[in-house]
């Protein structure tokens, strides 16, 4: 190989015209790749971006493999890790963009912005003397200017309603926590509810804190909501499941061509004996499916919802010095009964793979459990009650809940897609925040008494009509309004309190959640 490389280098150095030809024979694929890169670098007619060329080559190789072997550049890796590792460094505000201006929705409790006196409703217009309002700056660029290393300063100029001129604030950036538990509360007497957004580095700690809180409030049974949870760290899922199983119970195992089998087994430190319902849907994937599969195979809990995504592949991160990373599939994971729940795929055909959810909808699977068919070869049995379960394509719930296509009208989907709902919420909370805070001292008062004003709904319909978005007829409008009003109330609750209150409101319209409650109340 060294001789071939030396020969190649000599030829490259000797080349003085575009007609120079490179003819090197080698049987090593790696040598062939290295020579191709060197040839392009030194002989190609124009200058090339070597970094992009290398990244494209890596992506090209991975695209011929399974759908979950991927390459991420340093920027993408950083963004991906923030949600999983539980923190990022910044000023500590939740914001949204309204009419090309950043509006603070919430400040992180005891965070950098709250400490200096920034409040919800403030508009950040200058960051280090650079205008970010009225200049059509992208959300990504704004976040880049606000975030930075812990301990660094950022100078902000803020517009506050009722105060003339710009208010100056100096904020010292700090670690800002990112929580993976979206909500935890007593959804019914004796029934606790915990929604997990993803499985990250802090998930287990957050989950146990939520469990302790709910137990103190009288929890006997538990709903674990994994709807739309795309997964995360395997170990976070394993640690959580360990709290519900007896010593020696299998949680999951992994095995690959060059990766020996590894068993994950409960260690006997179980802390909860109550009944459990796990909620899933078509976007519950990876670590969510490990969790649901373990509860189902061990007959430890009931799975409610719709068939999960079907990701049963284990990726190993391979880090590069520049911060970029390959996530390479090295094994399959298997549920306690031996099921591999990875759905079928064709190597190199990601388009077909990602369109699987659409195909399920077209085939009627989302609305009718009888449309789901499994081959007998995929049949397995649970470990205690010997119930039939299936592998080869996600976790099929014990209780199927169809998608309510009547509730999610075309008119509502158009309102959402064109941001009419979120924009109306931003305007309303911006204009009425103080009034609402004065009237509703607690979320319980708000939840019991607040009704979305008709003027807010009329405003949405009026602005949508100006955008040529209209209901097909009065019937579609009537079908849209109840869900729309619940969504608006939940968004207002979120902006006055937090995501916990959002789900408190919104879950009362979620058919999968309601089915979970029904099963535990029987």
DSSP 391-422: -SSSPPPSEE----TTTS-HHHHHHHHTTHHH
Contact assessment for residue 128 and residue 145, using Cβ atoms and an 8 Å cutoff: yes
Active-site pick, 157, 311, 489, 515: 311
**Residue 286 among the catalytic residues:** yes
Active-site pick, 69, 296, 315, 324: 315
Q: Which tokens in the block code for residue 480?
A: 């849209």
Burial of 218 (0-12, 13-18, 19+ CB in 10 A): exposed
Query: What does each C-alpha distance from 237 to 159, 193, 212, 226, 494 come to in angstroms?
Result: 44, 17, 18, 11, 27
CA dihedral 309, 311, 316, 321 (to 10 degrees): -40
**Residue 410 among the catalytic residues:** no
CB atoms within 10 A of CB 351: 9
Reduced to 3 states (helix: H, G, I; strand: E, B; else coil), residue 430 is helix
Return the sign of the alpha-carbon dihedral for residues 60, 62, 68, 70: negative
Q: Which tokens in the block code for residue 189?
A: 């007497």
Query: What does each C-alpha distance from 367 to 155, 360, 392, 402, 464 come to in angstroms?
Result: 53, 9, 21, 4, 29
Greatest Cα-to-Cα distance within the chain, rounded to the nearest angstrom:
84
Contacts 24+ apart (CB under 8 A), 105-110: 105/429, 105/495, 106/495, 106/498, 108/176, 108/177
Tell me phi and psi for residue 289, to 5 degrees. Answer: -75, -35
Active-site pick, 106, 286, 288, 342: 286
Instruction: Report CA 136 to chain centroid distance, whole Å.
Output: 27
**Residue 78 among the catalytic residues:** no
d(CA 270, CA 288): 20
Q: Which tokens in the block code for residue 458?
A: 């009329």
Which regions of 231-334 does DSSP assign to beta strands (E)? 250-255, 262-265, 276-280, 302-305, 313-319, 325-334
d(CA 57, CA 131): 39
Query: Catalytic residue numbers?
Result: 286, 311, 315
């Amino acid at each position: 190989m060294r001789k071939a490389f030396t020969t190649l280098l000599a030829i490259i150095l000797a080349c003085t015209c575009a007609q120079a030809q490179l003819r090197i024979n080698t049987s090593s694929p790696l040598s062939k790749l290295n020579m191709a890169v060197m040839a392009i670098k030194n002989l190609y007619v124009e200058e090339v971006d070597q970094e992009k060329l290398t990244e494209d080559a890596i992506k090209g190789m991975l695209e011929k493999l399974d759908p979950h072997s991927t390459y991420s550049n340093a920027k993408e890796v950083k963004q991906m890790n923030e949600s999983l590792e539980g923190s990022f460094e910044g000023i500590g505000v939740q914001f949204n963009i309204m009419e090309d201006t950043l509006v603070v929705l919430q400040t992180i409790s005891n965070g950098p912005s709250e400490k200096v006196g920034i409040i919800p409703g403030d508009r950040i217009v200058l960051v280090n003397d650079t205008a970010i309002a009225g200049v059509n700056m992208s959300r990504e660029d704004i976040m880049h200017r606000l975030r930075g290393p812990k301990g660094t300063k950022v100078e902000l100029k803020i517009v506050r309603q009722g105060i003339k001129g710009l208010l100056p604030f100096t904020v010292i950036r700090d670690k800002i926590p990112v929580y993976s538990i979206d909500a935890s509360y007593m959804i019914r007497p004796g029934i606790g509810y915990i929604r997990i957004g993803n499985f990250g580095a802090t998930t287990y700690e957050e989950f146990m804190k939520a469990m302790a809180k709910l137990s103190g409030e009288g929890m006997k049974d538990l709903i674990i909501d994994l709807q739309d949870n795309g997964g995360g760290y395997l170990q976070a899922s394993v640690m959580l499941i360990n709290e519900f199983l007896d010593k020696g119970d299998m949680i999951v195992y992994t095995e690959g061509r060059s990766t020996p089998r590894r068993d994950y087994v409960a260690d006997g430190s179980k802390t909860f004996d109550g009944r459990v319902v796990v909620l899933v849907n078509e976007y519950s994937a990876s670590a969510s499916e490990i969790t649901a599969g373990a509860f189902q195979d061990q007959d430890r809990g009931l799975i409610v919802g719709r068939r999960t995504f079907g990701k049963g592949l284990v990726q190993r991160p391979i880090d590069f010095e520049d911060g970029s990373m390959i996530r390479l599939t090295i094994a399959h994971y298997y549920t306690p009964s031996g099921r591999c729940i990875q759905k079928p795929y064709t190597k190199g055909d990601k388009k077909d793979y990602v369109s699987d959810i659409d195909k399920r909808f077209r085939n009627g699977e989302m609305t009718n459990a009888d449309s789901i068919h499994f081959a007998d070869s995929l049949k397995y049995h649970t470990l205690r009650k010997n119930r039939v379960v299936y592998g080869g394509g996600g976790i099929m719930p014990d209780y199927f809940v169809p998608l309510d296509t009547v509730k999610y009208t075309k008119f509502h989907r158009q309102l959402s897609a064109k941001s009419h709902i979120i924009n109306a919420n931003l305007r309303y909370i911006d204009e009425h925040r103080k009034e609402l805070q004065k009237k509703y001292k607690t979320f319980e008062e708000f939840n019991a008494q607040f009704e979305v004003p008709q003027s807010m709904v009329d405003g949405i319909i009026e602005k949508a009509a100006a955008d040529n978005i209209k209901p097909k007829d009065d019937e579609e409008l009537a079908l849209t309004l109840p869900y729309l009003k619940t969504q608006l109330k939940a968004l207002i609750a979120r902006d006055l309190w937090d995501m916990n209150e959002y789900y408190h409101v919104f879950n009362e319209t979620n058919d999968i959640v309601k089915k979970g409650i029904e099963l535990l109340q029987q």
